[in-house]
Structure 1
């Protein structure tokens, strides 16, 4: 299987993923430290009759924003209360379970 990405395979996927106009002539994706990621693209607009207007290139700039997290995705318990609190609670629960087991006599050795 060939996993080689070319402009013909990557371009359409990138355009779709970014929600950019379909008839792009170029896309610039800027990812800079401390800045909101931006996408600048040049594209041919589609007229009211559905034809591509090759005489009127348009320059557009977008800001990337996070999509809402699906409700079905649950956060790990450590993400809600913080790792240290979660680990202390988990360690204490395991300790209490071990102590309860030991109070019952543990494993009978005969």
Structure 2
């Protein structure tokens, strides 16, 4: 006496997925309007953003262990053409550590 073996699909109920047509009809979210009001940044915040961009730009060499002005001078010495605006910002605020030190000043070498 042999038991008749069936297929595994005979044991489980077949469930078919319902196709959704609404996925194709959805539009991607629109970008924010160009005339949307951006928050107004103070001069200090704008300057610090520019200095952070300078820190993150590896074209001017590493920035750990030296001040931003030293890095700017080194990049200029090697002909890397660092932005003059950065030097102007750095010379404007020579005593504020937020201006003089790079982003990674608090991390040990």
Instruction: Give the structure-2-normalised TM-score.
Output: 0.20
Q: Which has the higher strand share?
A: 1
Instruction: Give the structure-1-normalised TM-score.
Output: 0.20
Q: Which has the higher helix share?
A: 2
